[in-house]
Amino acid sequence: MELSRGRGLPSTAVLTLGFLGLAMGGLTWGSQAQAGCGAAAGACEVAQGSYHIALPETEMDVGATLEKRPAVVFLHGYGGSGAGSLNNKAMVRGLTARGYAVIAPDALPGRNGNRSWNFFPGWQGRDEVEFLQMVAVDAAEQFGLNRDEMVLAGFSAGGFMVSYLACASPESFAAYAPVSGGFWRPQPDSCAGPVRLFHSHGWSDGVVPLEGRYLGGGRFQQGDIFAGLELWRQTNLCREQAPGRAWQEGALLRRRWACSPAADIEFLLFPQGHQVPADWADWMLDWFEAKAPTPG
């Protein structure tokens, strides 16, 4: 399936967005965060939109060090904002404590005023692949970040956006980490190339159930997360459908596939519902920093 893009949401999508506010996980994190463009007030501006950024507390002298910071680009859910993402203190502190900058772009508001990502094939609007690449380059240049060590992550509608971007443009980021978001039906027939993927999902998620569900009176259908993982195994040229490793850590259920070189998949089920768990940053970074295992 080709991922087409254009300049405005079709009327059926626009009329349904109010309903999709709950269906796509319009969670925000309390009041607006005191987030800006680094030390400056206000959001960072690029040609097609804006983003906010949180930097590790130990500041580096940009341009005076050979080692640039890695970063996580985190996409908010439906009705959220980049500033709101940075108000998730557990996530932001978990990432910045390990030396990662957190880049939080803003989706564009629809006609109903709620922000969401233009991820679904056939919807018209901003070219999100181009926008997010632009954000990554701008943040790397302004704040001394390593463009080659950026993870694209996102929650709910942001997680769907992560999955579609990874499928369409796998070389855009070093790795992909959707939380509670995969593909919609019909899901893509194929993806452009292998990726490093860390997918985490709540076992009791009722907003984005593991098996998917219909939205908007049947006009849209969230896909089956397990069917999406099968597509990623095909894309990553995994020799086996069964994981190379499956294990349990407390209430967490984990599976890992080591596939083609520099490509791997980890699937983590946590017991809660539709949320970003407090320990998500450490789970994801432990996986990312381990790099892709050797296929076996």
- Is residue 1 situated within a structural domain? no
In 3D space, the residue among 223, 122, 219 whose CA is nearest the CA of residue 163 turns out to be: 223
- Is residue 119 situated within a structural domain? yes
Taking CA atoms, 128 is separated from 35, 164, 213, 290, in Å, by 22, 10, 25, 29
Let me know the angle formed at the C-alpha of 192 by 105 and 188, rounded to the nearest 5 degrees: 85
How many domains in the chain? 1
- Is residue 6 situated within a structural domain? no
- Is residue 71 situated within a structural domain? yes
Residue 168, amino acid: A
In the structure, what pLDDT confidence band is assigned to residue 59 with cuts at 50, 70 and 90?
low
Let me know the angle formed at the C-alpha of 198 by 60 and 179, rounded to the nearest 5 degrees: 90
In the structure, what pLDDT confidence band is assigned to residue 295 with cuts at 50, 70 and 90?
low
DSSP-derived 3-state class of residue 24:
coil
Other Cβ atoms closer than 10 A to 161: 28
Q: Give the pair of three-digit tokens for residue 145.
A: 């970040």
Average pLDDT of every residue of the chain: 87
- Is residue 31 situated within a structural domain? no
- Report pLDDT digits (tens) over 8-26: 334 334 334 444 544 444 4
- Is residue 296 situated within a structural domain? no
Residue 127 CA to residue 132 CA, distance in Å, equals 9
Q: What range defines the domain where residue 124 resides?
A: 11-26+36-289
Residue 63 has pLDDT above 60, yes or no: no
- Is residue 190 situated within a structural domain? yes
- The pTM of the full predicted model, rounded to 2 decimals, is 0.87
Q: Give the pair of three-digit tokens for residue 269.
A: 């089920």
Element containing residue 197 per DSSP (H, E) = strand 196-202
The CATH number that applies at residue 135 is 3.40.50.1820
End-to-end CA distance of the chain: 31
- Report pLDDT digits (tens) over 93-131: 999 999 999 999 999 998 889 999 999 988 989 999 999
Cα dihedral 14→33→280→137 (10° resolution): 70
Residue 280 CA to residue 145 CA, distance in Å, equals 22
